[in-house]
Chains A and B, each alone.
Chain A
């Protein structure tokens, strides 16, 4: 009897969780979907976003993400390569780098926002701009990107490393031509994960990229990211809820597409590794 009651209550927990989360998701879809159209996606917001579309916001989001990507990708990948391929096992420096990355991963996003505002916007004089927003996000996604890439690189077949070395190839050549391509799906997955994180971010952007909803003219212009747009519509614009839901749906679809892509990459990779070994 108690056993059955226990089973029943556990299932209820799961059911409640699924139900409430589906409720949120369902609301976003039912409220947002009717409002989405080509004009919504491709026209500028009017009347503080109550009417019109989100074209400039999508463009700003794209630029911010691109900057974050362009900065975080080479640095993150290099750090990951160093950690997995060059750093001696048990070296103090490597261990400390790992700890630093974990600490960075734990910094709340609003604090990244504070840092970005103080450093990029004011100290470096970039002001509220796509550039300072993108750079702030680059800092934010760097630790998670490094960690994913590192584990991907470490999972690369060790036989390939030995093979390359025994052919008299330099370590760098082996990494460039064999290890990195071999770990590519994991690297892509890490990238998409970081991108998803960046796309979802609001707090770090409020005081770095700003919330001007015009089409940005240059990277030093302020631009409003999609998530900031949702925040502004729902908090500061009465009657902006419908547009907010529509933007939220666009954001959710964007992020889910990214995470499904990442999942697919990882799955494919594991399958291929199984076939190989």
Chain B
């Protein structure tokens, strides 16, 4: 259980209490929902991520930072088993979620992905109407009654602040929305399934600064109710939104987790010199 070998992260995090966190959302109880242990990911015979161990805490925003190509996205997509669809992907280690190892063969990935949603870098609304974009996943997960779906869809759209903007044109194509609206629609599409965890892979990097700000604000509002794991290249953003932060780096062409801890802690008093160099802009 307690083989957190690679990262300099130790149980040091536990003593920190809510009061000490100034940035990020106010509520954050250090109660792990995802325990990642010794996770390694590779494609074919190339290892992209080696022996990562960390805990994702309930209701908190965890930011993963580091240069591109050091395995952050691969890490994220193992958390909801999207790596299954990579033919030559190899995953080893354990990810404990709700008492079971979600990497286990017999885990129902469809139900798992309902509980762990994912947002991608490029907004990817389906080429359907706004309504259908949210309706389809609900139907696929067996929500039969139209009334219920209607209620959930409206709630999800309100949550992401889209309801006022699109309630009069739910039948128009989702592709007619602006980039920022599309991304918020994608978030709503994930929220409509009422997941516990949201994985976000650089959700703002394809957006203009204004929409990026709106989405960032939205992410902060989501914390507490949802557990968010966000990959970002934007250090300032990570600092603004996250409660916890992990720093990934390439060592000998293999991605590793260098440091993990409370966000403030990682940014202000990094324990690893690589982290310090990266966040001060010297390297990376």
Contacts and interface: CB of A to CB of B under 8 A. Distances in A.
So, do A and B actually touch in the complex, CB under 8 Å? yes
Interface of A: 88-89, 157, 159-170, 173, 177-178, 181-182, 275-276
A22 to B, nearest CB: 41
17 contacts: A157-B124, A159-B124, A160-B124, A160-B126, A163-B126, A163-B189, A165-B85, A167-B140, A168-B109, A168-B112, A168-B140, A173-B136, A173-B140, A177-B126, A177-B128, A182-B127, A276-B175
A165 B116 CA distance: 12
Interface of B: 80, 82, 85, 87, 109-114, 117-118, 120, 122, 124-128, 136-137, 140-141, 175, 186, 189-190, 193
Nearest to A178: B126
B126 A164 contact: yes
A162 to B, nearest CB: 6
B190 A181 contact: no
A33 B60 CA distance: 76
Contact of A162 (B82, B112, B128, B189): B82
B87 A165 contact: no
B194 to A, nearest CB: 12
Contacts of B125: 163
Contacts of A162: 82, 120, 124
Given A160-B127, A182-B127, A167 B85 contact: no
Given A89-B87, A181-B128, A276-B175, A159 B120 contact: yes
Given A157-B124, A276-B127, A276-B175, A166 B110 contact: no
A159 B122 contact: yes
Contacts of A164: 126
A168 B87 CA distance: 18
A165 B127 contact: no
Given A159-B122, A165-B82, A166-B120, 18 more contacts: A157-B124, A159-B120, A160-B126, A163-B125, A165-B85, A166-B80, A167-B114, A167-B117, A168-B109, A168-B110, A168-B137, A168-B193, A173-B136, A177-B128, A177-B136, A181-B127, A181-B128, A182-B127
Nearest to A159: B124
B82 A168 contact: no
Contacts of A161: 85
A70 B120 CA distance: 39
A166 B117 contact: yes
A55 B111 CA distance: 58
A182 B173 CA distance: 13
A157 B127 CA distance: 10
B123 to A, nearest CB: 8
A88 B140 contact: no
Nearest to B182: A276
B227 to A, nearest CB: 16
Contacts of B190: 166-167
Contacts of A177: 126, 128, 136
A181 B132 CA distance: 13
A182 B117 CA distance: 23
B133 to A, nearest CB: 9
Q: Which of A164, A170, A182 has the most CB of B within 10 A?
A: A164
For the complex of A and B, the 4 pairs showing the least CB-CB separation, nearest first, are A168-B113, A159-B124, A166-B118, A163-B124
A178 B114 CA distance: 18
A47 B136 CA distance: 60
A172 B160 CA distance: 29
A260 B124 CA distance: 31
A275 B124 CA distance: 13
Q: Which of B87, B109, B140, B189 has the most CB of A within 10 A?
A: B140
